[in-house]
């Protein structure tokens, strides 16, 4: 599922203390307005922009952050008043991605934007230890002007797709285009259509899911339904085709939360096939399907990632005002999975 880019406000939160620095050790005292805050968020604000939150989260998990002289290995650790935080940091990682000569599947381009077909397995921008081989690295090679568009560590990016999700994306080549596109995503004016194959036979022809989503404090790579602190999230879906034990659906996210479609469908009891995070509990259904085909001597689908694809994207050109709609064909691995299910 894609996630819209937040506005960048920069700076530190009012009331935060400045670090007392001793070589590579940074020390902080938690003020009153940080009570109950997550440790990684607190450090992220204190050390912005030299260190990213993902870098600091990994630092915490590696045991290089102390709270009141005790090692804390959970980024979600909640702070109390006057907690003494001590972080041992190396040199700030480079925030500037490097251009790499990587292939791009370009659907459309003009002087202000480019529409691409992202393959499954490609990260959108560098994060944590993955500083190369991303879409941003490729964009900087083919469109070097985007280096100055938007945020330094994800230039040109106005929305994202999960690494294992394929499909259509739009990227800004100018700051005027970025401003307009970010505004359209924020106001929910961009229309998105996804295709997915999920586990189980969905009973309704269509439905509207309206459940807020927040981070999972126990698993940093996961999101979860959070009725108290989650951000509003809504998805409309339609059944496209039913198979024995599986269903092909069209999903139309009306908001842009991380993993939104995957979480909403899993919450209904129908996770996306091969979803490595939200589909583990029912993954045996797809395993049995594969084993059955192998036993019968039939071709086994080659899909090795979540069966989710960003199929269509519609928006207004942020400079000339044209309504534009672009489509990414259903990838061969998802088509092959559908054909095998249909055959059975």
295, containing H or E segment: helix 283-295
CA distance 202 to 185: 29
CA distance 162 to 340: 25
Q: What is the DSSP string of 8-29?
A: ---S--TTPPPPEEETTEEEEE
Beta carbons of 195 and 201 less than 8 angstroms apart: no
Q: What is the DSSP string of 117-155?
A: EEPTT--SS-BTTB-SSSHHHHHHHH-GGGGGSS-TTST
- Residue 259: is it exposed, middle or buried by C-beta count within 10 angstroms (0-12/13-18/19+)? buried
Helix or strand or coil: residue 31? coil
CA distance 52 to 54: 5
On the CB side of 42, CA atoms within 13 Å amount to 35
DSSP category for residue 34: G
> What are the backbone angles phi and psi of residue 27, rounded to the nearest 5°?
-120, 140
* Bridge partners, 326 (sequence order): 313
210, containing H or E segment: strand 206-210
Residue from 112, 162, 275, 333 carrying the catalytic annotation: 162
* Listed residue (344, 340, 339, 310) closest to 327, CA to CA: 310
Q: Is 22 a catalytic residue?
A: no
In sequence order, the 6+-apart residues with CB closer than 8 A to the CB of 170 are: 113, 114, 115, 158, 159, 181, 313, 315, 326
Catalytic residue positions, numbered = 162
């Amino acid at each position: 599922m894609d996630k819209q880019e937040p506005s960048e406000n920069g700076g530190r939160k009012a009331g935060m203390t400045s670090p007392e620095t001793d070589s590579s050790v940074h020390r902080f005292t938690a003020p009153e307005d940080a009570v109950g805050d997550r440790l990684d968020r607190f450090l992220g604000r204190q050390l912005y922009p030299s260190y990213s939150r993902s870098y600091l989260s990994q630092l915490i998990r590696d045991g290089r952050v102390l709270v009141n002289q005790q090692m804390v290995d959970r980024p979600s650790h909640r702070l109390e008043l006057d907690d003494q935080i001590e972080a041992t940091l190396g040199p700030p990682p480079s925030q500037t991605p490097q251009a790499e000569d990587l292939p791009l599947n370009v659907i459309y381009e003009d002087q202000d934007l480019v529409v691409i077909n992202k393959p499954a397995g490609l990260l959108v921008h560098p994060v944590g230890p993955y500083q190369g081989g991303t879409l941003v690295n490729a964009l900087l090679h083919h469109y070097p002007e985007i280096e100055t568009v938007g945020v330094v560590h994800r230039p040109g990016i106005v929305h994202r797709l999960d690494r294992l999700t394929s499909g259509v994306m739009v990227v800004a080549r100018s700051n005027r285009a970025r401003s307009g596109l970010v505004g359209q995503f924020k106001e929910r004016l961009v229309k998105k259509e996804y295709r997915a194959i999920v586990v189980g036979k969905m009973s309704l022809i269509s439905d509207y899911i309206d459940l807020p989503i927040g981070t999972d404090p126990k698993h940093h790579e996961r999101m979860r339904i959070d009725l108290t602190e989650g951000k509003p999230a809504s998805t409309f879906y339609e059944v496209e085709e039913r198979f024995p034990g599986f269903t092909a659906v069209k999903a139309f996210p009306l908001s842009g939360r991380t993993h939104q479609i995957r979480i909403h469908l899993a919450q209904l009891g129908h996770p996306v096939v091969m979803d490595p995070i939200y589909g583990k509990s029912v993954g045996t259904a797809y395993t049995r399907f594969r084993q059955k085909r192998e036993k019968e001597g039939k071709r086994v689908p080659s899909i090795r990632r979540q069966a989710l694809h960003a199929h269509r994207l519609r928006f207004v050109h942020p400079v000339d005002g044209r309504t534009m709609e672009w489509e990414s064909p259903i990838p061969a691995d998802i088509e092959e999975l559908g054909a095998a299910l249909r055959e059975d």
